[in-house]
Chains A and B, each alone.
Chain A
Amino acid sequence: MSDVITETLDDYIKTQVLEAWKGPKTVPEQEYFTSGHRTCQGCESALVMKLMAKAAGPRTIILGSTGCMYVANTTYLSTPWSVPWMHTQLGSSGSAATGTAAGLRALMRKGKMEKERINVIAFCGDGGGADMGLSAISAALQHTEYNLLILMYDNESYANTDIQVSGSSPYGANSTFSPPGKERRIMHRRWKKNTAPMLAAGHPECKYVATVCMSYAVEAMNAVRKALSIGGPTFIHSLDPCPKGWDYDPMFSHELGELAVETGIWPLYEIEEGKIKMYGKSKRIVNGQMKRKPVQDYLLRQGRFAHFIDEDIEYFQAKTDEMWEKWLIPGVLPFSAEA
């Protein structure tokens, strides 16, 4: 047992180094999330799964929380995963990643398993992640000795159980738990959680937190590759248009993702070793090179906001303006500096 003391931490903390892909043409064809799933047509979360696995490559273990990406993806005897995959409980993405990484580390350190850099990714939905799983994710992000990525695919509802509002659903959205009715137009009055910055701010040793959207697929895959290379626990939050829950024609998934970014509702940024870097159109918005589109261009394309009247749209616009005009770090971190 004494050799344990002499080990260098370095031996076990190393990650795979996955270089960024320069553009779509440099992305390999090989898939690790293949046929066999039965998600809705136009499901952007399924695209997240596919490109996340592609970005990580074959030496990866993926853990998946309950939700659409479990239930609709892994029907017994028809798994789409060609990398090892295991279900974890709704609130357990943080624990699944921690346990897997800890198991591998212990076995490799004690010479019971060949030393190798194996990626560990746990994914969760917004319900499983930002609501139920928040404490376990928070704990996971403190364990700097484990290399792991938690990816939260945010379709802005508890989708799998038939579309119920979560803490990540946008203000006013129609869902089966927040249906507009004769007396009350707006049943869901909570403002969407600002999850990625909350986790970044709350876990100063976490080296990488990013937001992504699959309308910008190469950037999203490179975020995954960076998260897996940088070392320690990391977190990625993706916004995924969901035709069923958002109520639009599946052919517009990609476009809605773009609109979420262009209206400023979904800012894209990386927080890498304490430095915030806006990217893509969000960067242009911050730099004043691009004007945000009005939020109604996004909201009115979706049935979940069909009950909105002008007043609701104005409220939504005002709250979004606040993010960019009043926040300490525009689009990312609230609080305004005292005048």
Chain B
Amino acid sequence: MNPPKTATAEQIVIGGSEELISGSEAIAHACRLADVDVITAYPIRPYDTVMQYVSQMISDGDFDCEFIVAESEHSQFEIVKHASAVGARVFVGSSGVGWFYAFEAMAVTAGLRMPMVAMVGNRALDDPGAFGVEHNDALAVRDLGWMLVWVETPQEALDTALIAYRVAEDKRIFLPCAVSCDGAFLTHSQAIVNVPDQATVDSFLPRYDRGDKLLHPDNPITIAPQANEDWVMEIRRQSDAAMRRARGVITEAYEDFGDKFGREQEPFIERYMMEDAEIALVGMGTLALPVKVAVRKMRAEGRKVGFVRVRWFRPFPTEELQDALSDVEAVGVIDRDYGFGSSFHSGVLANELRAALYPVENQPKIVSFIAGLGGREVNTDNVIVIAGMVADAASGGMNDQDTYWIGVRE
């Protein structure tokens, strides 16, 4: 698990260097490039590799920040919350039950509108113990005012972490943002990444400026008093407004990112072979890897299948998904999470998507799948089976009011 001292492949390219690195190392580079001021760590697999890389960078003198190994995740998140209040740019992260241990702190961070960027190395919750990916950890904060984004590759992890700082610290937003990286499949898997140079990052990412919200003797404000029924509703409404504004600010950030770094991408979702698609698969994170391969295979056989990868879960890309999916006959949502007792016993993404597509005319059938829990591999054969079931649902041959578990021993 020890991080390599030097990147395995290094080659200077224009505006940065190319390195073979994992998702965790990519995010460590983003922290360095963002010149983060305070980082708190606590060990739990698989996210904690990012802290191994960060601490190595600090001890090698490549990066300067206060690096605190907290005594629990609760403290980890509380420490950075308070550092953010005095104007420090902060980074934190966790996985699985560690993320839950910090839950109280995460609730108040969002309630306080305290900007921070957190990495989630998505992991199954105990019990039973499992190191592998599930999305229920990060999804647990979805209604609290955290922005949530899932990424697929180490490059996207690095880029998105920089974008996350820009959006979270934007005065119009001031909300925390969690970058979700699938445990093992992304945290520990390497790919060639363009690590940008400092000047480009500086041109994209302004300094964190709290303005009149800064906690400092020159600005003796009281933060987070007891508001009760007199004011809480207005304050919640402001968080709602910030989350609504986030849509525009995220779009702006992606446009500027594209201009400065030369990597253009659609902000909220990725559409893969969606032109003329009759059925669409939808999922998040590294699930995209087998799905894309399977989609290519099926396309080669003449089947009109496409894939939509949801990047941002909060704010939820309602309009984009309506746009991408309103012309298909049926949608198969592959959740790497569960929602026991929810509508149709579906995963979180499936039900969120059902709500988003409800007002669409000629609404496609939506079939819900649960797969890859606890880090179980989802392979191309699984995806082809799923696509077949979705095609059946399109022709009315399958019940779309239920949820199907894929790759499970019954």
Q: Do A and B come from one complex?
A: yes
A-side contacts of B223, CB under 8 Å: 84-87
Known: A76-B225, A83-B217. A96 touches B78 (CB 8 A): yes
List which B183-229 residues lie within 8 A (CB) of chain A.
207, 215-217, 219-228
Contact of B217 among A60, A77, A107 (CB under 8 A): A60
Known: A4-B64, A5-B61, A100-B85. A82 touches B220 (CB 8 A): yes
The reply to whether A103 and B217 form a contact with Cβ atoms under 8 Å apart is no
B344 to nearest A CB, angstroms? 37
Q: Would you call B314 an interface residue if the criterion is a C-beta within 8 Å of the partner chain's C-beta atoms?
A: no
A-side contacts of B90, CB under 8 Å: 103
The reply to whether A102 and B83 form a contact with Cβ atoms under 8 Å apart is yes
A69 to nearest B CB, angstroms? 11
B-side contacts of A59, CB under 8 Å: 217
A103 to nearest B CB, angstroms? 3
B-side contacts of A143, CB under 8 Å: 68
Alpha-carbon distance between A112 and B63 when the two chains are bound, in angstroms: 15
Q: Would you call B296 an interface residue if the criterion is a C-beta within 8 Å of the partner chain's C-beta atoms?
A: no
Alpha-carbon distance between A138 and B221 when the two chains are bound, in angstroms: 28
Chain A residue nearest to B36 (CB atoms) is A106
The reply to whether B108 and A89 form a contact with Cβ atoms under 8 Å apart is yes
List which A1-17 residues lie within 8 A (CB) of chain B.
1-2, 4-5
Known: A4-B64, A106-B37, A106-B66. A86 touches B82 (CB 8 A): yes
Alpha-carbon distance between A143 and B80 when the two chains are bound, in angstroms: 15
The reply to whether B61 and A103 form a contact with Cβ atoms under 8 Å apart is no
The reply to whether B226 and A74 form a contact with Cβ atoms under 8 Å apart is yes
A50 to nearest B CB, angstroms? 16
A199 to nearest B CB, angstroms? 14
Alpha-carbon distance between A100 and B222 when the two chains are bound, in angstroms: 15
Q: Would you call B264 an interface residue if the criterion is a C-beta within 8 Å of the partner chain's C-beta atoms?
A: no
The reply to whether A106 and B72 form a contact with Cβ atoms under 8 Å apart is no
Interface size on A, residues (CB 8 A): 51
Contact of A103 among B64, B86, B108 (CB under 8 A): B86
A-side contacts of B207, CB under 8 Å: 112
Chain B residue nearest to A136 (CB atoms) is B75
Known: A76-B230, A76-B231. A88 touches B64 (CB 8 A): no
The reply to whether A84 and B83 form a contact with Cβ atoms under 8 Å apart is no
Alpha-carbon distance between A96 and B112 when the two chains are bound, in angstroms: 14
The reply to whether B226 and A76 form a contact with Cβ atoms under 8 Å apart is yes
Scoring B residues 270 to 284 as 1 if CB is less than 8 Å from chain A, else 0, what string do you get? 000000000000000
B-side contacts of A100, CB under 8 Å: 82-83, 85-86, 215
B-side contacts of A81, CB under 8 Å: 220, 222
A116 to nearest B CB, angstroms? 8
Q: Would you call A98 an interface residue if the criterion is a C-beta within 8 Å of the partner chain's C-beta atoms?
A: yes
**Of listed B71, B86, B223, residue having the most chain A CB within 10 A:** B86
B-side contacts of A4, CB under 8 Å: 61, 64
Q: Would you call B161 an interface residue if the criterion is a C-beta within 8 Å of the partner chain's C-beta atoms?
A: no
B-side contacts of A58, CB under 8 Å: 217
Q: Is the interface of A mostly helix, strand, loop or mixed?
A: mixed
B149 to nearest A CB, angstroms? 24
The reply to whether A88 and B217 form a contact with Cβ atoms under 8 Å apart is no
The reply to whether A95 and B70 form a contact with Cβ atoms under 8 Å apart is yes
A-side contacts of B228, CB under 8 Å: 75-76
B-side contacts of A92, CB under 8 Å: 74-75, 78, 105
A-side contacts of B68, CB under 8 Å: 98, 102, 143
Chain B residue nearest to A104 (CB atoms) is B86
A267 to nearest B CB, angstroms? 29
A-side contacts of B85, CB under 8 Å: 86, 99-100, 103
Contact of A106 among B65, B217, B224, B231 (CB under 8 A): B65
Q: Would you call A63 an interface residue if the criterion is a C-beta within 8 Å of the partner chain's C-beta atoms?
A: yes
Interface size on B, residues (CB 8 A): 47
Alpha-carbon distance between A110 and B87 when the two chains are bound, in angstroms: 12
Contact of A95 among B37, B79, B217, B224 (CB under 8 A): B79
The reply to whether A135 and B71 form a contact with Cβ atoms under 8 Å apart is yes
A62 to nearest B CB, angstroms? 10
Alpha-carbon distance between A85 and B85 when the two chains are bound, in angstroms: 11
Alpha-carbon distance between A89 and B105 when the two chains are bound, in angstroms: 8
Contact of A136 among B72, B80, B224 (CB under 8 A): B72
The reply to whether A110 and B78 form a contact with Cβ atoms under 8 Å apart is no
The reply to whether A136 and B226 form a contact with Cβ atoms under 8 Å apart is no
Alpha-carbon distance between A81 and B230 when the two chains are bound, in angstroms: 20
B125 to nearest A CB, angstroms? 22
Q: Would you call B349 an interface residue if the criterion is a C-beta within 8 Å of the partner chain's C-beta atoms?
A: no
The reply to whether B64 and A109 form a contact with Cβ atoms under 8 Å apart is yes
Alpha-carbon distance between A85 and B75 when the two chains are bound, in angstroms: 19
The reply to whether B220 and A84 form a contact with Cβ atoms under 8 Å apart is yes
A268 to nearest B CB, angstroms? 30
Known: A92-B105, A99-B83. A84 touches B74 (CB 8 A): no
Alpha-carbon distance between A79 and B220 when the two chains are bound, in angstroms: 11
B245 to nearest A CB, angstroms? 24
Scoring B residues 54 to 96 as 1 if CB is less than 8 Å from chain A, else 0, what string do you get? 0000000111111010111011001111111111101000000
Q: Would you call A70 an interface residue if the criterion is a C-beta within 8 Å of the partner chain's C-beta atoms?
A: yes
Q: Would you call B392 an interface residue if the criterion is a C-beta within 8 Å of the partner chain's C-beta atoms?
A: no
Contact of B71 among A99, A107, A138 (CB under 8 A): A138
A-side contacts of B61, CB under 8 Å: 1-2, 4-5
A-side contacts of B227, CB under 8 Å: 76
Chain B residue nearest to A58 (CB atoms) is B217
Q: Would you call A210 an interface residue if the criterion is a C-beta within 8 Å of the partner chain's C-beta atoms?
A: no
Chain B residue nearest to A59 (CB atoms) is B217
Alpha-carbon distance between A58 and B90 when the two chains are bound, in angstroms: 27
Alpha-carbon distance between A266 and B104 when the two chains are bound, in angstroms: 34
25 A-B pairs with CB atoms under 8 Å apart are A1-B63, A58-B217, A61-B217, A74-B226, A76-B230, A79-B222, A84-B220, A88-B82, A89-B78, A89-B104, A89-B105, A95-B70, A95-B78, A98-B79, A99-B78, A99-B83, A102-B83, A103-B90, A104-B86, A105-B66, A106-B88, A116-B217, A136-B71, A136-B75, A139-B71
Top 4 A-B residue pairs of the complex, sorted by shortest distance between their CB atoms: A99-B82, A103-B83, A95-B78, A103-B88
Which residues in B have some Cβ–Cβ distance to A below 8 Å?
A: 35, 37-38, 40, 61-66, 68, 70-72, 74-75, 78-88, 90, 104-105, 108, 207, 215-217, 219-228, 230-231
Known pairs A84-B222, A107-B87 / 5 extra A-B pairs, C-beta < 8 Å:
A85-B220, A95-B78, A113-B87, A118-B217, A136-B78
